[in-house]
Amino acid sequence: MKLLGMMLPLLVSLSLLSGCGEKEKFIVYGSPENEKEVEAILKEQDFVDKTTVIQYDNSMLVAVQIKQWDKWKKAKLEKKLQKKFDEKYPNKDVFVSADYKIFYEANKIKKEQVEDNKLKDKIKKLKKLAKEET
Amino acid sequence: MEKEQYKQLEQNVTPNPPYFKNVAKAFLVGGLICTIGQAVSLFYMTFFDFTEATVGNPTVATMIFFAMILTGFGLYKKIGQFAGAGSAVPVTGFGNAVISAAIEHRSEGLVLGVGGNLFKLAGSVVLFGVVSAFFIALIKFILVTLGVVSW
Amino acid sequence: MVMTFVFAFFVGGIICAIGQLLMDFGKLTPGHTLSTLVVAGAILAGMGLYEPLINFAGAGATVPITSFGNSLTHGAIVEAEKHGLVGVLTGMFEVTSSGISAAVVFGFIGALIFKPKGNVD
């Protein structure tokens, strides 16, 4: 019982932590003409928790974070979203990833306001990274 | 004495382990070790080029490094006395088994002592891991060839 | 990410609790318990269920010993997929579990720098 008592405060503090940071869940960075459209596609997927989209020329990096209870199906949902974007933007080179690392790097690109000429290389590098297997 | 009777007697004599307490302790310590592992994973994803798919390897290696330090100072054994499976089931427990065997047999030399006894305690884990991997891959290959399942 | 920490704790804790139950109720020795868990991890990997667990719980699935079974089986299956039956055989020599190599390396280093304390149990 003492052990349960030890766990309770831990759980409470963790649930408090997860409650904050609700704003700016859907971010689109780069060429602004289709911002709303991309946001709309992502918003209608109920498994998507947070996203950051980086755009440059024809490349588009869609970094999403999946809701905790949908993470079991991460690979499947990634593919589903990729298909959706490929259909919507057949002329664009879209890459969807649900990996935390890709999401983290995408946010960093946005935060540091990376210059346009460097964006392309960055996106390429992240794509390669995401495709690596163990 | 009949075998059945002996068993009965043995059960009467052996005290029942405090099941709930043991399981709770294993859950807490095991969970805590995995939470530390998650922090290590986050560290590697933040500062190095590892994704969620590839971060498992450096995480496991780092956890075993921690196990080496704790084992070397004789602390892992103390954690184990409290936590039971909680410290034995994470890879740190495997690391502890290998590393403690290596340290204990150092005096017999690097080849016969360390080399010969490294897997004295943890060998069965490696054996069953590799052998089951082989047979499961084989079974899966056969099933795929027969068209029962797909890769 | 915060949620991943919570579930790393829970899933990792539950796997360890299962290990404790195998030892207490199943009357298995620690060696038998760990071997059972490794085989269980390998079977789950074969059924394609371990990867989703890693997605869900992060280190809660990669840190327990069951992940050995997963990484070895996963490697063997990837090779078998690429090269067929030969892949099953050659795959076994290519698959690695970073845990095993790390334990060997740190075991050696540990033996060089630490003094024995009568710790083998």
Give the count of alpha carbons within 13 A of A21, CB side only.
9
Residue C89 has what pLDDT?
80
Residue A4 has what pLDDT?
55
Q: Is the pLDDT of residue C118 over 70?
A: no
B-chain CB neighbours of C50 within 8 Å are none
Of B27, B34, B134, nearest to C8 by CB-CB distance is B34
Residue A82 has what pLDDT?
93
Q: Is the pLDDT of residue B19 over 50?
A: yes
Q: Is the pLDDT of residue B115 over 80?
A: yes
What is the average pLDDT value for chain C, to the nearest integer? 91
SS (H, E, C) chain A: CHHHHHHHHHHHHHHHHHHCCCCCCEEEECCHHHHHHHHHHHHCCCCEEEEEEEEECCEEEEEEEECHHHHHHHHHHHHHHHHHHHHHCCCCEEEEECCHHHHHHHHHHHHHCCCHHHHHHHHHHHHHHHHCCC
In this predicted model, which residue has the larger pLDDT, B125 or A18? B125
User: Distance between the two ends of chain C, CA-based, in angstroms?
Assistant: 38
Give me B141's structure tokens: 């290959």
B-chain CB neighbours of A100 within 8 Å are 45, 51-52
Task: List chain A domain ranges.
Answer: 22-131
**Closest by CA position to C113, among listed B102, B57, B82, A95:** B102
How many Å apart are CA B110 and CA B103, to the nearest integer? 10
Confidence of residue B30 (pLDDT cuts 50, 70, 90): very high
Residue A59 has what pLDDT?
82
CA distance A75 to chain B (A): 11
C-chain CB neighbours of A9 within 8 Å are none
The residue of B51, B150, B151 whose CB has the most chain A CBs within 10 angstroms, and thus the best one to mutate to test that interface, is: B51
Which has the minimum average pLDDT: A62-66, B14-18, C15-19, C33-37?
B14-18
In this predicted model, which residue has the larger pLDDT, B148 or B70? B70
pTM of the model: 0.87
Confidence of residue B61 (pLDDT cuts 50, 70, 90): very high
Topology, domain A22-131: GMP Synthetase; Chain A, domain 3 (3.30.300)
| Residue C27: strand, helix, or coil | coil
The answer to whether B106 and C117 have CB atoms below 8 angstroms apart is no
How many Å apart are CA B77 and CA B85, to the nearest integer? 12
How many Å apart are CA C18 and CA B27, to the nearest integer? 9
CB contact under 8 A, C54 and B138: no
Which has the minimum average pLDDT: A86-90, B19-23, B131-135?
A86-90
Q: Is the pLDDT of residue A11 over 80?
A: no
- CA–CA distances in Å: residue A94 to residues A45, A101, B103: 17, 18, 53
Residue A24 has what pLDDT?
58
Q: Is the pLDDT of residue A35 over 70?
A: yes
Give me B149's structure tokens: 């399942």
In this predicted model, which residue has the larger pLDDT, C15 or C75? C15
CB of A100 less than 8 A from some CB of B:
yes
Which has the minimum average pLDDT: A28-42, A60-74, B108-122?
A28-42
Query: Nearest chain A Cα to C49, which residue?
Result: A72
CA distance C40 to chain A (A): 19
CB of A102 less than 8 A from some CB of B:
yes
In this predicted model, which residue has the larger pLDDT, B18 or B66? B66
What is the average pLDDT value for chain B, to the nearest integer? 92
Q: Is the pLDDT of residue C119 over 50?
A: no
Q: What is the DSSP letter of C115?
A: -
Residues C73-82, mean pLDDT to the nearest whole number: 91
Q: Which residue has the tokens 């004789």?
A: B74
Alpha helix segments (H runs only) across chain B: 3-13, 19-47, 56-72, 76-83, 85-88, 91-104, 116-117, 123-146
Chains in contact with C, where contact requires at least 3 CB pairs less than 8 Å apart: A, B
Residue A51: partners with Cβ closer than 8 Å, 6 or more residues away: A25, A26, A27, A42, A62, A63, A64, A65
CB of C20 less than 8 A from some CB of A:
no
Task: List chain B domain ranges.
Answer: 3-120, 123-151
Signed CA dihedral, B24, B25, B26, B32: sign only: positive
Residues B7-32, mean pLDDT to the nearest whole number: 86
Of A3, A4, A99, nearest to B53 by CB-CB distance is A99
Residues B34-60, mean pLDDT to the nearest whole number: 95
